[in-house]
Every structure is written in C-alpha cells, then in structure tokens.
Amino acid sequence: MTQPVNSLYLKEIMADAHKRTLELGAGLDEEQLMGPKLPIVNPLRWEIGHVAWFHEKFILRDLYGRAPLLANGDAIYDSIAIHHAKRWDLPLLSMRETLNYAGNVLEDCLSLLPDGMASEAQSYLYQFSTYHEDMHTEAYTWSRQTLAYPKPVFDSVLRPADANAGAWPGDAVIPGGAFFSGAPEKTPFVFDNEKWAHEVAVEPFYMAKAPVTNAEFMNFVNAGGYRRREFWSDEGWSWRARTNAEHPVYWLAGERGGWRLRRFDGTEDLPLYQPVIHVNWHEANAYCRWAGRRLPTEVEWEAAALGEPTGDCSKLIMTLRAYPWGGRPPAAQHANLDGRALGCVDVAALPAGDSAFACRQMLGNVWEWTSTTFAPFPGFSPDAYKEYSEPLFYDTKVLKGGAWATRSRMVTGRYRNFFSPDRRDVMAGFRTCALHQASPPCRAH
C-alpha cells in the first residue's frame, strides 16, 4: 500500500500539475482549444475538464463523500463511458467555465487535507490523481506538436549546458543473473501494473549505451528502409502501406537531399545527435532488422537501467534501486524531464544520470519502446481506478524511461508506459540490443 506523506507535499504537486495545465492551454484560441477530430488527440477544452472531473470523482466524491459539483459531469467527462469520437459534440463548459470548475475542484481538494501527515488513502488518491494530470499534460504537449500549435511557454525552462554534447556510441555489456522486475511491496507509491516485484532470469546481453539518434535513423531512411518489405513485420508493413509512411512523421525533406524537422509550428535542421522521436513500434522494429539489431525486452531494459554488477562483473545483482543513478529522485543533472528543455537534448548529455553499466538517458528525453507486450505481473490487482491498466493488457507494447515532457515526480525506472504499436504521436524513440548473447566481462564504472 502507499506510504503516508506530508500534506504539504500533496498540495505542492497538485498545484504544480494544475499550473502546467494552465501553461499548456495558454495562448490558444477557441478553435485551437477544440481542434480537429482525430483519433489520436482529444479536444483540449474537454480534456482539461476531464482532469478536473477526475480529481472531483476520486477525491471529493469517492474519498470524502461530497456531492457532484456538476449535475451532468459524469455524462460529459467520464472518459471510460464516453466514446472518443463524441467528445467534440458534447455540451461542454466554455473555456472560462472549465477553468473555474478546475480551480474550484483544486481549492476544495487542498482545503480538505489535514495539517501534518495525510492518511494512507489521501496519500494514494492525491498522488494518483496528480500523476493522472501529469499524464494528460504530457498528452497536451504532444497534441500541440501533432496539431502544429505554437511551442508552449513554461515558467521554468533550462536547457542543460551539455545539451549539444553529441553522440554516445557503443554497447554496454549487461551480465546475466537473477533480477527483480516490478515494484517491491514497500515502495512509497506504486501503479497497479507495477505490482509486484518478482524474480526473473536474465541472460547476458549487449545494449546500446544511448537511444538511436536522428543521424542513425536517417541512414535507414536514406537506404530506402521504409520501402523494403524485408525489414517489416506483416502488421508493420500493413501500417506503412496504409499510412504511406516514408520517414518519421515530423521529418521534412530539405534542400540538397537533407532533412528538416517540424517542432511545434516551426522547422529546423534535423538535430543529428538527438534521439529519434515520434516513431512507433513498427518503425523501431524495422530499423532494428535493417541494422541487424533488436529491441530489448522490458526485463532487459530494467536490468540495464537499474541493475548492478558483482565485483568481478560476472553476475547481475538483485537491486531495488528506483533510478539508474541510485535512490535519489531525478534532478536537472540526471535527466531531461519536466519540460525543462522544451525538447530533446543530444544523447551524450547528462552523464550524471548513467546507469551502473554506463547506459545514458534511460530516464528522460524519449520514451523507449521494448519488445514486450503489456501484460499483468504475478500478483496484479487493480487499484481505485480499475480501468487504468487492465483494459490495455495484451493489446499494447511496453515503453520505459520517460520523455522530455514527463514529470519527474511520476516516473521511475520501473514505471510501465503502454501504447498501441501504431502510435507515433507519443514522445517515443528506442535503443537497441545486439542479436548475439554477450560473453565478455562487463565494463561497469
């Protein structure tokens, strides 16, 4: 169960999440706040109301027994009950009314917290509902990219000094052994799909020390990789043919055969040493086949990110660390998170965040696809929001590590993201593993 935390912390994170929502809605006109009907985005006006309704439903109503603030709130904002395509046609509140509703819900939630330590139930629901808003603010961010809206303006933006550090080539050698995957039972906060830690066997393997860069993926594109059937699965080739995909979705052909990148409503030269982003699982797998590589499994990814070697580097040590660098929560020197950089940085940046095997940026910058199909761990049981994970089991793929817009308070090395393999609007990239098993001793630092 969730460990009790101080009410001041809950107030701080909840208010901060709401602030990010306001930042992402700012500067958009009424037409942009609704946007076009697309299967991969929500109307932002609806989505902001949904997040406020979620706080109200699970905190004010379910935890405290309060009456609904909106008589028709469930009929408008319950994402489980309301089909996606209908969300543009609902009798939505105006944007001013939506923000007033969200502000009132926030004020009521904060006013009901006690002085000092919150209860276990309060600690869980306030954190989970905040993380739910964090997930949506990341979605608001990639929606602005999808729709070519202006770059958002965040109050705290700070690109790291080594943002242009270049490439980080080579493989790390990850030794085999027993490893704990999933969250230990005494973890301060867990999502239901992380329950519970269980021992798995890992064979030794080679993993790239960095995600695949734009420069590396460009070689695949320029080699005609999107038109060569032998690199694609049947499902992937069907997706490619259906969408006429010839390159990553936001790449633009430049002059003299080069490539440019659309970032929000502007374009720039393709940043060669940043990780490729906004590619789907099919594209990642096709690249791997072209390169003679493969995607890591979820367990391999966790072992490389969170594992530690024995003194002679011959075995993987059972570890309960939460982050690649150890137990301390992410800070600016560890990972590109929280939207601080307003985009990706080069894959060699932020060495302070390295794992024990010198794998860099396993948190932040881009989500990383794995080969693993999202499924429950032994001991899984749904929590208060029963639809969070269970409906997506077996139909989605696991991503790990967080992206540049992911909130650092939410993500750990054990966090399991999950999307269908055709989604390339999400902030996803990937790193690769060698096809052959590793045998030399590892080079831990």
- Which is nearest to 205 in space by CA: 440, 439, 438? 438
Residues 308 and 317 sit within 8 Å (Cβ to Cβ): yes
Percent of the chain residues past pLDDT 90, beyond the cut: 90
- pLDDT given at position 317: 86
- Alpha-carbon gap, residue 316 to 298, rounded angstroms: 16
- pLDDT given at position 442: 56
Beta partners for residue 171, in sequence order? 208
Three-class secondary structure assignment of the chain: CCCCCEHHHHHHHHHHHHHHHHHHHCCCCHHHHHCCCCCCCCCHHHHHHHHHHHHHHHHHHCCCCCCCCCCCHHHHHCCCCCCHHHCCCCCCCCHHHHHHHHHHHHHHHHHCCCCCECCHHHHHHHHHHHHHHHHHHHHHHHHHHHCCCCCCCCCCCCCCCCCCCCCCCCEEEECCEEEEECCCCCCCCCCHHHCCCEEEEECCEEEECCCCEHHHHHHHHHCCHHHCHHHCCHHHHHHHHHHCCCCCCCEEECHHHCEEEEECCEEEECCCCCECCCCCHHHHHHHHHHHCEECCCHHHHHHHHHCEECCCCCCEECCCCCECCECCCCCCCCCCCCCCCCCCCCCCCCHHHCCCCCCCCCCCCCEEEEEEECCCCCCCCCCCCCCCCHHHCCCCEEEECCCCCCCCCCCCCCCCEEECCCCCCCCEECCCEECCCCCCCCCCC
- Alpha-carbon gap, residue 376 to 382, rounded angstroms: 10
Domain regions of the chain by residue span: 7-146, 156-445
pLDDT, tens only, 28-58: 999 999 999 999 999 999 999 999 999 999 9
Question: Matching CATH topology for 7-146 and 156-445?
Answer: no
Mean pLDDT (the chain) is 95
pLDDT, tens only, 246-286: 999 999 998 777 899 999 999 999 999 999 999 999 999 99
Residue 66 in this model has a pLDDT that exceeds 60: yes
pLDDT, tens only, 157-192: 889 999 999 999 999 999 999 999 999 888 899 999
- pLDDT given at position 85: 96
Tell how far CA 444 is from the center of its chain.
Answer: 27
Name the architecture of domain 156-445: Alpha-Beta Complex (3.90)
- pTM for this entry: 0.96
Tell me the two tokens of residue 384.
Answer: 């208060």
Please state the rounded mean pLDDT for residues 228-234. 98
Residue 441 in this model has a pLDDT that exceeds 80: no
Tell me the two tokens of residue 245.
Answer: 């995909």
Going by their DSSP bridges, the two strands 266-269 and 198-202 should be labelled as unpaired
- pLDDT given at position 185: 85
- pLDDT given at position 444: 47
- pLDDT given at position 1: 60
Asked whether the CA dihedral 193, 138, 73, 85 is positive or negative, the reply is negative
Residue 445 in this model has a pLDDT that exceeds 50: no
With respect to CATH, is domain 7-146 assigned 1.20.120? yes
Orientation angle between helical segments 120-146 and 7-25, nearest 10 degrees: 20
Q: How confident is the model at residue 313 (pLDDT cuts 50, 70, 90)?
A: confident
Beta partners for residue 323, in sequence order? 326
Tell me the two tokens of residue 222.
Answer: 């320029």
Residues near 208 by Cβ (< 8 Å), separated by ≥ 6? Answer: 170, 171, 172, 293, 359, 431, 432, 433
Tell me the two tokens of residue 299.
Answer: 């367990």
- Alpha-carbon gap, residue 397 to 387, rounded angstroms: 17
- pLDDT given at position 120: 96
